[in-house]
Structures are given as structure tokens and as C-alpha cells.
Amino acid sequence: MDEQLLQLYKKNAIADNAYMIADGTVFLFVTEADKYVLQGKNVIIGATEPVLNSKTYENIHRLETALAVKGTTIKKIPANTIIQSLSNTAFTMNLAIVEAKVVVLTNDILKKNMQIDSQLVKERNICIEYYTIVHSLQLEYEKRKLPWLKDLIEKFKTSITFKKGEAFSRANESLRIDTPRELSANMIEFPPGSLLCEEGSVGDAMYILESGQLEVYIQNSKVATISEKSTVIGEIAMLLSMHRTATLKAQNTVVVTKITREDLRRSTSPELTQALLVSLAKKHHANVLHIMDINEKKALAYADSSRQELIKTEAYRYQNELSQLKYTLEKLIQSKQADYLEYILNK
């Protein structure tokens, strides 16, 4: 890198400030090998950690090292000023747009790293499936309060497979929020079989699901179903005016609230934009943790060839734990006549 650089903050340092980049370029390093670039005018960086520390009551230090190209115009903003300014919808939306960019850029790093090592892809998918099953059981327990269901959850929730799956899933976790009353006039009904949006189209709006089920298609293949009320869909594409990465089709009669960037800017209530910001900051945090985990495994495998076999063994262990979870659940469904849990095995 030929440019002369000024360090704004270092990875793992206390996050007591954010920085307004009036005009210029900043490089952010997750690891020495993994970096991304933010540039432009009036871009605020370094707000992720103060926002998460304020809204989630965690104590997160700097996720990355930030280096500004010499000549970049920079203004330091205290963390408490950032938090106080979240009551301003326009300010919070600007932060959310930056966070959306960061999520996209760190997603790209993850995709690149995962393509290099198919074993890591396999491990990630196993852990996510394990977590999804246990999380679904937890939701069922909250509805039914069955003691044997609680015992099942406690038995499998302590597994490292669950912990890893939980971390991986955070990056893909959907935001859920009740529709602000002032936007209730934006509700739209879609009949069965109709399309809310198409893959490749420009994202000019996001949606809050009020009722019904949506099918998600990528390259004409169904990849998921969205059915939980209050799920927010398409927020990154809307914030960045990006092309849609999937087609959304109404499986039955679907009601959504459609929200544009202009709707957000005109809103007199900051709760929705704050929720968007926090959700995106959580995804940023999860992506960084995932990138670091991948790089640690690669470094260990490179330094010690015996680690390569150990990593493979870990994947086998995750698969065995997933198989044991499924087997145990299947037996309990039979013995307890709990047919209402079968959908969890078929997800």
C-alpha cells in the first residue's frame, strides 16, 4: 500500500469516539489479510461499537483497525454525542447506510474466504442447522412449557456446535419490528402467487411482514420461507439502492408495510431507524467474529499440518452432534406423540 496512512484507532482498543470523514478514504483491517475501504463525503465510521455498547449493554472494543489516507478531512465525535444524536432520524439513517455498506463489504470477505475452504462451509452449515433446531425447540417450549422439552433443550444447548451456530446465525438474523403507527397507511395486500420484488431489480423499498407467508427464490430455486410477523425484508437493498439478491413470492395472501428511504427520512419517530442501525451493527459484529475464526483456523493449519486433520475431526464432531440431536428429537416425537414438532426436522 503506497499511500501514507494515519491510524484513527486500533483493533481491540476502547471505542470512545467515532469519526466524521468529511472527504477522503479510510481502510479498515479486520485482519492483516482482510480489509475493506470506505470513502466519500460526510461518512461516519467507528460508530458500530458505541451503538452496540449503548443498545445491547455489551462492552465491545474496536472490531477493526482504521487507517485514513493522508489528506483525509477528519473530525472526532465523542461516543456519547453519537448516542445522544440517535434521536435524530436523519442522523441515524446516515449511520445505518454506512453500516449497510460495511455489512455488504464484510459479507464479500466472508464469501471469498469460504470459497477457498469448502471444509469451513460444511462446518458452518452444520452448526447453523444445529442451532436452528435447538432455537425452534426453545420457541416451542415458550409456547407449551413442557418439562421434557426443556430438558431436551438444556441437554443440547451447551454444545460448542450450538454456540458456533448461534454466532454464524447472527449475521443472517432478520430484524423484527412492529410497524410504526404513522406508516400504517403503507400496508399493501398481495394475492397468492404475486411477486413483491424480483431478483436483479433495484431495491427502492423495504417491507415489514404483517401476515401471510413469503417464498424466497434465488435463480428460480426456492431457498426459504418467511412467515414470522414483523419480519423486516430488503432493508440493505433499500438503504443502498442495490439490486435485489432474491425474488419474493406470496405463498398465500400476504400483507406487508412498504417503506421507502423517503418514508424513513420523513418519519417523526426514530425507533425504526434505530432498530435498523442496531440490527446492521450486530451483523457487522458477527461478520468480523466469523472472519477472525476462519483466519485463526487457516493460520493454525498452515503452521502445523496436523491441525488440518484436527479441523476435519471438528467437522465430523459437529456432524455427529447434529445427527444425535435429530435422532433424539425423532424418538421423542414418537414417544410423546409430539407430531407438532415434526416441522423442525423438515426445515
pTM: 0.79
pLDDT band at 3 (very low <50, low <70, confident <90, very high): low
pLDDT of residue 304: 55
Residue 325 grid cell = 440431536
Indicate where the chain has its CATH 2.60.120.10 domain(s): 5-84, 181-266
Residue 175 pLDDT > 60: yes
Query: Hey, CA dihedral for 71, 73, 76, 82, is it positive or negative?
Result: negative
pLDDT of residue 118: 66
Alpha carbon 15 to its chain's center: 21
CATH class name, domain 181-266: mainly beta
Residue 27 pLDDT > 90: yes
279-299 pLDDT, tens digit per residue, is 999 999 989 988 887 777 766
**Average pLDDT, rounded, for the chain:** 89
pLDDT of residue 273: 93
**CATH hierarchy code of domain 5-84:** 2.60.120.10
Nearest residue to 180 (alpha-carbon basis) of 266, 94, 97, 241: 266
